[in-house]
Chain A
Amino acid sequence: MSLENEKTLKQKNRKILFRLVVVAVGMIGFSFALVPLYNVFCSVTGINGKTGGQTTASASMQEDDSRDISIEFIAMNGKEGELEFRPRNNRMELHPGKIYSTEFYVKNLTNKAVVLQAVPSISPGSVALMLHKTECFCFTQQPLAAGEEKWMPVHFFLDSEFPKDIQKMTLQYTLYDITGKGEFGKVVSN
């Protein structure tokens, strides 16, 4: 091979090598971008049962009493034996367009202060975005002193566009102990 040909070949090789490395690095970036993309997709469609963030009810909201939807509340205790966690109501009958309130009871059974995080999940996933919360203990971390107990409120309403073919839904809160994890843990926006 002549000198010029060899030099051009080396250049050609380097050019493709460089581009492919860019692709590989780009795919790493893409993979990490999948994380917020996934969260956005899920929060826009509600398909993994995650609810939206805090909403405000509009003043002109109308109660639609032509239909009844029943909601079950499930309290999943992530730390059996150290926490007590239960809903005030196991079930409520709802009309879309009306604000309802309920509470969840939590007690710290240990002799150390804890920080708790509740994570909601709704089934069926298709109505996750139809449940709007104006206030929820799941929006923020909940600190509890040793032995402390409290009732934590949830205020919510169902969207007037709630699908006609669904009569039952379930809202589950899983309560996790995140004492000491707060700093680096992902911010929970819902």
Chain B
Amino acid sequence: MSTVEMTADHDHHDHKPTGITRWLFTTNHKDIGTMYLLFSLLMLFIGGAFAMIIRLELFQPGLQFLDPIHFNQITTMHGLIMVFGAVMPGMVGFANWMIPMMIGAPDMALPRMNNWSFWLLPVAFSIMMMTPFMDGGGPAFGWTFYAPLSTTFAPKSTDFFIFSVHIMGISSIMGAINVVVTIMNLRAPGMTYMKMPLFVWTWFITAFLLIAVMPVLASVVTMMLTDRNFGTSFFEASGGGDPVMFQHIFWFFGHPEVYIMILPSFGLASAVIPTFARKKLFGYSSMVYATGSIAGLSFLVWMHHMFTTGMPLFSELFFMYATMIIAVPTGVKIFNWVATMWQGSMTFETPMLFAIAFVILFTVGGLSGVMMAMAPLDSQYHDTYFIVAHFHYVLFPGAVFGGFAGAYYWLPKWTGHMYSEGLGKTHFWLSMIFVNMTFFPMHFSGLAGMPRRIPDYSQQFADFNMWSSLGAFGLGLTQLLFVFLLIKTIRGGKAAPAKPWDGADTLEWTVPSPAPYHTFSTPPKID
């Protein structure tokens, strides 16, 4: 393309295409980012609706609404949709919108692949969500689908579930490749790696994790597929296989996967807190190294999900020590955020409220994680509600609150309007109260011995379950407030300046709000 043609193209593109074809064929990172974010919000509500059904059944002892098979199906779908449909695409949405602007690039490096990455998702999830209506019912083996419950003993729809996982995996791998190529090749001149905002770093590292482990997930579901249909015996004891091998391969993917879900939120917190503390992020290079260490260590800890499978002593000791060690770089990050706040000059707009709550409540989840790392204690915690409490703390007030922090932070940039601070704060405080009401009691029911994935429970767990269910209903309803606020802000509101937050200093704040369709067609000068 000649220089002349390029300029002409830019003139054309000042007018955005319209209609459904705009969205179907777009290669624009902002459009694609928007689609990912809206898709993930929709999935958050669908997964959330399933959670409401679960909590409705668990409100009181006894089976009132669901029979156990449907309960297991809904629990499974809740997990799959939240992990693969809400958290992961949500973070990719942030990556798409913000990484090019933060590094001064005009778009992602591979814009057409970017489009495919997104559109594979509705296809994958349509297939996934058809499975409950198939003969024999949908997947009912938990989002961790252990063999042989998920192979020999699973319904026909499992093959479609596997197909859907393959499609999602391809989408994730393509998206991750795009992120790596973009960050490596498209940084504006002068933006060295150690000058990139931390959010870009955390996504850079997350992308490598995705490329490394999504293929492992693809392989393990392929092995399931051949075990089910082509007579292999990877996980079938009768053919010389080993069901525990499934857990090894799954968790080799699964543990890095949970860091894939949280590292971008670490980046979001690292974007928001310095802005509202009006102080640079403390210990930038430590933060980068800590993130890298967490990612590297995440490959060495998978067997802590398997302490009760009959491991030999030396394995239990190794994985206990390795898992405990991950607490060190994670702690470093937390201390660095606190040090950023310390002696800053803080105001507490909604993004900052969510970011601070993220740090506090993620820490709660992280501390219960240290407890679980200790193998002799895990014999009491494993597969009880203590684990459920742990991962919901790191995922909801962890990853999702990080997402809300980022969303409120960049809503003015995306929409050109200031959101209503009153509504935002209301959304925050109600979420804060209800998220704790929902998940904190689960620590207690877990310690009291209540197992996971059961539709009915004995009476000593009743009080805790009641509080969890009430909290969950409140939490679910509160999110509707966010949707209302989102629609309101998109449609109108006080005009947002290029830089609504006086403490912000990254490149996206140098372009107008809303951000023009094309930004940084000419790279900015970095000093």
Contact = CB atoms under 8 A, between A and B. Distances in A.
A183 B220 CA distance: 22
Given A17-B110, A186-B241, A27 B181 contact: no
Q: Main secondary structure on chain B at its contact with chain A?
A: helix
B214 interface: yes
Contacts of A78: 238
B252 interface: yes
B510 interface: no
A125 B234 CA distance: 20
Given A12-B185, A28-B219, A38 B242 contact: yes
Interface in B181-225: 181, 184-186, 211-216, 218-220, 223
Interface stretch (B309-317, B329-337, B358-366, B389-397): B309-317
A180 to B, nearest CB: 9
Contacts of A190: 240
A182 to B, nearest CB: 9
**Which of the four size classes fits the interface of chain A?**
35 or more
Contacts of A12: 185
B312 A47 contact: yes
A185 B215 contact: no
Contact of B216 (A1, A27, A186): A27
B407 interface: no
B185 A34 contact: no
Interface string B468-480: 0000000000000
Nearest to B521: A1
Interface string A147-159: 0000000000000
B248 interface: yes
A165 to B, nearest CB: 12
Interface in A85-128: 117, 119, 125-126
B146 to A, nearest CB: 16
B311 A47 contact: yes
A169 B1 CA distance: 75
A126 B216 contact: no
A20 B1 CA distance: 27
B238 A178 contact: yes
Given A9-B185, A188-B240, A31 B211 contact: no
Contacts of B167: none
B211 A23 contact: yes
B215 A25 contact: yes
A27 B213 contact: yes
Interface in A34-66: 34-35, 38, 42, 45, 47-50
A24 B207 CA distance: 12
Contacts of B215: 24-25, 27-28, 30-31
Interface in B220-251: 220, 223, 230-234, 237-242, 244-245, 248-249
10 contacts: A12-B185, A16-B180, A17-B177, A27-B212, A27-B216, A35-B234, A38-B248, A47-B312, A181-B239, A190-B240
Q: Which 10 A-B pairs have the closest CB atoms?
A: A184-B231, A176-B238, A31-B219, A188-B240, A27-B215, A185-B239, A28-B215, A31-B216, A186-B233, A20-B177
Interface of B: 1-3, 6, 109-110, 173, 176-177, 180-181, 184-186, 211-216, 218-220, 223, 230-234, 237-242, 244-245, 248-249, 252, 310-312, 315
Given A28-B216, A30-B216, A47-B312, 11 more contacts: A3-B2, A12-B185, A16-B181, A38-B248, A119-B240, A174-B237, A174-B238, A181-B238, A181-B239, A184-B232, A186-B241
Interface of A: 1-3, 6, 9, 12-13, 16-17, 20-21, 23-25, 27-28, 30-32, 34-35, 38, 42, 45, 47-50, 78, 117, 119, 125-126, 174, 176-178, 181, 183-190
